[in-house]
């Protein structure tokens, strides 16, 4: 195979032919809107991948347009010819990743982040605990804590203000691996805790378990579970991401469960596509399919509320910012809205353009801070117009980003952001 041929295979050249260049993706693409050029549109990116595969442009030419893609997948929802943009994007990222010559410090930082940090429950616990300690002591900033800002021009300090109050290490340690309250249970579910979700939003995870219990589920937390691998895939580290998928599939096979529940739109999106990572016909593909068939966003199982009622009146106006990955990949659209409509006293004002990404996009807002803020500004105009007191989201990245947006707009005295799970628990659901 020639060099070009092997590049073509790796970069999914064949899949670029599904694009008929109709341009229907343009109005859906946030970066086309804020960056104002075809180069930063789905159609433009697919064309560039094709040009690279044909040897007309270089991998260097491709780097910036691909790096600036949010991966929100809004284009795939509107695409009339079902182009597999996700696969084209990941292929391009992998090619760029392999081609890049990185400085030693950058490499070390990435090795640590992707190899040890996100996949490790311990590290994630430590991050949460350390965050708690530093918040309590007020000694250091979050950015210094991670010592990352020197290795790469990240803007972690900007996020410091919006990290929620952390539980103490003692509270963290109290969590067990198995919960059951109602006998017989409605069904047995395994809870995917996630990495960032379980560290920074530990309390929301606890609330998720509580909600599932109130709905009458038996909840187990498989010990060997790890990071979903989404952040790895977004960064072109495909092999790492496959490795993590295998670990999760194994971890959740340990116990017979009816559903695997997640509460993070981005993680859920990655995991419902685990089967795409393995060749059809292989045993891993079969196991992945099993895993995928059980994977549900929490709102999907809670939406059956016939046997549950909300006991507490929540007298406020909220708006809903759906997670792009939940909308465009998991295709979970109405359950969160249906649930909110059941909460007594709650007024739901929908956004003009709910499907426009908030700019969080995994760690996009850390790596491409300025571009992310341009997108956030567009989102916040819409959010502010909705004149709500709370922005409800279903993904940790979106939640942090919305908090950041509220801070940036200077409306933090009248508006906040919270996870759907926290809102629902506040409404005190009870079994009939």
Partner 1 sequence: MSNWMEDLREVIPGNQIMTEIADRYSYSFDASFGEYLPDAAVQAKTKQEVVHIVKIANQFNIPIYPRGQGTCLSGGPLPVHGGIVLDLSQWPEQIELNADDLTVKVSPSVLTDRINEEAEKHGLMYAPDPSSAHVATIGGNLAENSGGPRGLKYGVTKDFVLGLELVTPEGEVIRTGGQTIKNVTGFDLTKLIVGSEGTLGVITEATLKLMPKPPSVQTVMVEFENVRTAGEAISRTLTSGILPSKMEFMDKACIQAVEKFQPSGLPVDAEAIVIIELDGHPETLKLETVLIENIMEEIGASNVSIPATSEEAAKIWHARKQVSPAIAKIKPTKVSEDATVPRSKIPDMMDRLNEIKEKYQVEVVVFGHAGDGNLHPNILCDKRDQEEMIRVEKAVEEIFQAAINLGGTLSGEHGIGTMKAPFMEQELGAVGLEMMKRIKDSWDPNRIMNPGKIFPEKGQKLVLRNE
- Smallest gap from residue 21 Cβ to partner 1 (A): 5
The answer to whether 416 contacts partner 1 (rule: CB under 8 A) is no
The CB density around residue 176, as the number of other CB atoms within 10 Å, is 8
- Smallest gap from residue 13 Cβ to partner 1 (A): 10
Determine which residue in the list 27, 153, 344, 345 makes contact with partner 1, applying CB under 8 A. Answer: 27
Stretch in the footprint of partner 1 (CB under 8 A) among 41-49, 277-285, 339-347, 391-399: 41-49
At residue 301, what are phi and psi to the nearest 5 degrees? Answer: -85, -25
The answer to whether 29 contacts partner 1 (rule: CB under 8 A) is no
Stretch in the footprint of partner 1 (CB under 8 A) among 30-38, 177-185, 265-273, 346-354: 30-38
Per rule CB under 8 A, count of chain residues that contact partner 1: 29
∠ Cα 331 286 255 (to 5°): 85
Nearer to partner 1 by C-beta: 89 or 163? 89
The answer to whether 80 contacts partner 1 (rule: CB under 8 A) is yes
The answer to whether 344 contacts partner 1 (rule: CB under 8 A) is no
The answer to whether 4 contacts partner 1 (rule: CB under 8 A) is no
Nearer to partner 1 by C-beta: 58 or 168? 58
| Distance in angstroms (rounded) separating the CA atoms of residues 192 and 223 | 10
The answer to whether 57 contacts partner 1 (rule: CB under 8 A) is yes
The answer to whether 22 contacts partner 1 (rule: CB under 8 A) is yes
The full DSSP string for 281-346 is: TSHHHHHHHHHHHHEEEHHHHHT--TTEEE-S----EEEE---HHIIIII---SHHHHHHHHSTT-
Strand partners, 259: 189
The full DSSP string for 143-209 is: HHHHT-TTTS---HHHHHTTSPPPPPHHHHHT--SEE--SSS-S-EEEE---SHHHHHTHHHHHHHH
| Distance in angstroms (rounded) separating the CA atoms of residues 49 and 65 | 10
Nearer to partner 1 by C-beta: 37 or 161? 37
| Distance in angstroms (rounded) separating the CA atoms of residues 196 and 396 | 7
The answer to whether 61 contacts partner 1 (rule: CB under 8 A) is yes
Residue in this structure with the two tokens 């378990």, named with its chain if needed = 209
The answer to whether 128 contacts partner 1 (rule: CB under 8 A) is no
Strand partners, 319: 391
The answer to whether 1 contacts partner 1 (rule: CB under 8 A) is no
Determine which residue in the list 7, 29, 53, 62 makes contact with partner 1, applying CB under 8 A. Answer: 62
The answer to whether 23 contacts partner 1 (rule: CB under 8 A) is yes
- Smallest gap from residue 286 Cβ to partner 1 (A): 26
Stretch in the footprint of partner 1 (CB under 8 A) among 78-86, 118-126, 334-342, 417-425: 78-86
The answer to whether 56 contacts partner 1 (rule: CB under 8 A) is yes
The answer to whether 374 contacts partner 1 (rule: CB under 8 A) is no
Stretch in the footprint of partner 1 (CB under 8 A) among 33-41, 107-115, 253-261, 399-407: 33-41
Q: How many helices (H) and strands (E) does the chain have?
A: 25, 11
Contact in structure between 264 and 121 (CB atoms under 8 Å): no
Nearer to partner 1 by C-beta: 35 or 242? 35
Contact in structure between 145 and 134 (CB atoms under 8 Å): yes
Contact in structure between 272 and 261 (CB atoms under 8 Å): no
Nearer to partner 1 by C-beta: 80 or 410? 80
The answer to whether 24 contacts partner 1 (rule: CB under 8 A) is yes
| Distance in angstroms (rounded) separating the CA atoms of residues 254 and 129 | 29
List of residues contacting partner 1 (CB under 8 A): 17-18, 20-24, 26-27, 36-39, 41, 43-44, 47-48, 51, 56-58, 61-62, 64-65, 80-82
């Amino acid at each position: 195979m020639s060099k070009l041929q092997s590049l073509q295979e790796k970069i999914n050249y064949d899949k670029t032919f599904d694009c008929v260049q109709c341009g229907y993706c343009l109005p859906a693409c946030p970066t086309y809107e804020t960056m104002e050029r075809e180069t930063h549109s789905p159609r433009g990116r697919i064309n560039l991948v094709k040009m690279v595969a044909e040897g007309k442009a270089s991998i260097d030419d491709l780097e910036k347009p691909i790096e600036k893609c949010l991966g929100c997948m809004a284009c795939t929802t509107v695409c009339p010819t079902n182009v597999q943009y996700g696969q084209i994007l990941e292929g391009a990222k992998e090619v760029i990743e392999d081609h890049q010559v990185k400085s030693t410090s950058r490499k070390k930082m990435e090795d640590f982040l992707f190899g040890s940090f996100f996949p490790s429950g311990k590290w994630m616990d430590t991050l949460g605990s350390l965050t708690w300690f530093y918040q309590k002591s007020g000694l250091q900033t979050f950015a210094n804590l991670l010592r990352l800002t020197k290795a790469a021009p990240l803007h972690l300090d900007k996020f410091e203000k919006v990290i929620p109050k952390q539980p103490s290490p003692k509270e963290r340690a109290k969590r067990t691996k198995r919960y059951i309250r109602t006998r017989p249970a409605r069904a047995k579910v395994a809870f995917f805790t996630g990495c960032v979700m379980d560290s920074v939003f530990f309390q929301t995870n606890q609330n998720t378990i509580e909600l599932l219990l109130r709905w009458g589920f038996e909840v187990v937390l498989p010990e060997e579970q790890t990071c979903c691998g989404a952040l790895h895939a977004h960064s072109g580290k495909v092999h790492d991401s496959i490795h993590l998928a295998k670990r999760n599939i194994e971890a959740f096979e340990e116990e017979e469960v009816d559903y695997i529940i997640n509460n993070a739109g981005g993680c859920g999106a990655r995991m419902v596509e685990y089967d795409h990572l393995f060749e059809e016909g292989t045993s891993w593909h079969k196991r992945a399919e099993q895993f995928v068939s059980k994977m549900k966003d929490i709102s999907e199982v809670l939406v059956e509320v016939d046997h549950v009622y909300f006991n507490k009146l929540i007298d406020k106006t909220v708006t809903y910012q759906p997670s792009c990955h939940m909308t465009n990949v998991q295709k979970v659209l109405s359950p969160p809205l249906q649930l909110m409509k059941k909460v007594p006293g709650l007024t739901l004002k929908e956004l003009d353009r709910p499907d426009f990404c908030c700019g969080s996009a995994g760690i996009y807002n850390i790596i491409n801070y300025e571009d992310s803020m341009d997108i956030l500004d567009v989102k916040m105009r819409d959010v502010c117009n909705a004149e709500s007191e709370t922005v409800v989201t279903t993904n940790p990245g979106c939640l942090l980003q919305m908090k950041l947006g509220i801070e940036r707009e200077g409306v933090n005295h009248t508006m906040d952001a919270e996870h759907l799970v926290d809102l629902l628990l506040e409404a005190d659901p009870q079994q009939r």
